[in-house]
Chains A and B, each alone.
Chain A
């Protein structure tokens, strides 16, 4: 070290603790770092770019375009399919949130870089909430890109006027279900990730739990075309309510010492 010790800045008398940021500010700091970290991860980035830019095009060319060519008698079906694909196209990039969430706890624990954050004055709620938000935000951004790519591809291949076939209530419900399901997936994955030892275990358990749920959701989505606007609104609100309860309960019950006790 080149600087003589007489100039070492740390020999001042210890200061009292600075005014700590609020839980919400800390949560946002942690989320921002986690989101940026996720965006720097090549695997997450490659997967997200594929699902948000390439996959919508594949779906439009392989399913939507042939269906649109079947004639105007199929307009009702086409409208429902276009709406359900809003959910599918939006949801696939959010699978990245599961990987990111698994990396946030179990992955960092394996790499040994969770300890400094646990040793900081950040509260359990701020750490857990920040990590969930950090996993969700990039996934939702990629979902937004995917939805835009999808709508542009639909407009370019079958004509922008066909977008009028989208049932408004169903389309909005599908669009809102994307962040709702992403938050649910990230919270569940974070819960699991914070309670297991390795990234692989977290991913496997999250996959086992979430993939069947996604399957059920798609199954229900096909039925949702027949639901009225209020029923759809209630369904979406119910998913958001489950998210809120799950996130709050998970954040409140998560204890940093559970992580340390496993090490």
Chain B
């Protein structure tokens, strides 16, 4: 369990993190989203026991980050966007060094290194110096380092950055597996699709404050309940607006021609009730003689929500919001 209450950090006059409250139970993933400099990394550093908060409280697995930061550091795994390896060392020696620092006995160390190298497909490179590794391989080593001591909480800052699609997918699956094995995970990412797929809850940080937080689907729904419906017709259909104008529950009705598709026309509208409205619209169109090629429904994406929240960088951050993954707020 990762918990924070009104966590605040100042660097001189600058307020890097402002009253962040969150709760990530075991077996849950919280994605922290936000522009560069928003305070994600500082928040993670405080929670991982690297940086003392200026005020507020936080604990990881019940250990207070202020009272026992070393105890917290012993129980967390941290992966940053920069792998941060000693590149003149070989992989095996590097992991052995960190295993020793985390107090793993030689037998456990050897077993863990063996397992992780096999998993990350690095066994053949065990004795290679890491200087010649690709970014993806380095990131795998960084992940292996973070998992060596079987941490109860993981802080992953852009863990799939620089990985090829296959490796990125495997890492995502690993993250889900780690979640299912009762780890609390905080994931900082700019990949909104990754956040949506992995996270139980998403928190958007702006100017040091959590300004929006909820399950991805709830955030999308909260931002706009409307579904955007796009109907492609075979030919121009000027009567569409007259035919549909009186249907209750549609807005932003518009007709436009499809670029590149000769003669075809696109009819667009937004509705909060697609299940009721769409059959009615289609029935009207067909009755009026329109020939429908396709119907596409789009709800708001997390990207829309994110851009809506952080879009106005010059705007004040607004009210702080607390996060409680899978719990009450």
Identify the A interface with B (CB < 8 A).
1-3, 5, 7-21, 26, 29-30, 33, 37, 40-41, 111-123, 256-257, 260-261
Flag if A5 contacts B101 (CB, 8 Å).
no
Contact of B119 (CB < 8 Å), options: A8, A13, A30, A41 = A8
Q: Which residue of A lies closest to B82 (CB)?
A: A112
Whether B98 pairs with A115 at a CB distance below 8 angstroms is: no
Q: List 26 A-B contacts (CB under 8 A).
A: A1-B170, A5-B177, A10-B115, A10-B119, A10-B178, A12-B150, A13-B182, A14-B181, A17-B71, A17-B74, A18-B149, A20-B70, A29-B97, A112-B82, A112-B84, A113-B85, A113-B86, A116-B78, A116-B142, A119-B78, A120-B73, A120-B98, A121-B70, A121-B71, A123-B70, A261-B51
A21 touches B103 (CB 8 A): yes
Q: Is the CB of B89 within 8 A of A119?
A: no
B contact residues around A113 at 8 Å (CB) = 84-87
The 4 closest A-B pairs by CB, nearest first: A9-B115, A14-B152, A112-B82, A17-B74
Chain B residues near A260 (CB, 8 Å)?
45, 50-51
The number of A-B residue pairs with CB atoms under 8 Å apart is: 134
CB distance from A130 to the nearest CB of B (A): 10
Q: A121-B102, A122-B101 are in contact. List 14 more A-B contacts (CB 8 A).
A: A5-B170, A7-B119, A10-B177, A10-B178, A11-B180, A14-B75, A14-B151, A14-B181, A16-B75, A18-B104, A37-B86, A114-B84, A115-B84, A120-B98
Q: How far is the CA of A177 from the CA of B48 in the complex (A)?
A: 43
- B contact residues, range: 35 or more
Are A120 and B152 in contact, CB atoms less than 8 angstroms apart? no
Chain B residues near A10 (CB-CB < 8 A): 115-116, 119, 147, 150, 174, 177-178, 181
Q: Which residues of A contact B177 (CB under 8 A)?
A: 5, 8, 10-11
Interface string of B128-158 (1 = CB under 8 A from A): 0000000000000010010101111000000
B147 touches A115 (CB 8 A): no
- A115: chain B residues at CB < 8 Å are 78, 80, 82, 84
Tell me if B88 is interfacial: C-beta within 8 Å of chain A: yes
Q: How far is the CB of A116 from chain B (nearest CB, A)?
A: 5
Chain B: CB-nearest residue to A255: B52
Q: Which residues of B contact A20 (CB under 8 A)?
A: 70, 74, 102-103
Question: B171: shortest Cβ distance to chain A, in Å?
Answer: 8
Quick check: B84 and A116 within 8 Å, CB to CB?
Answer: yes
Could you say which residues of chain A place their CB within 8 Å of the CB of B102?
A: 17-18, 20, 120-121
Q: Tell me, in angstroms, the Cα distance from A148 to B299 when the chains sit together.
A: 78
A112 to B98, CA, bound (A): 16
Q: Are A119 and B73 in contact (CB under 8 A)?
A: yes
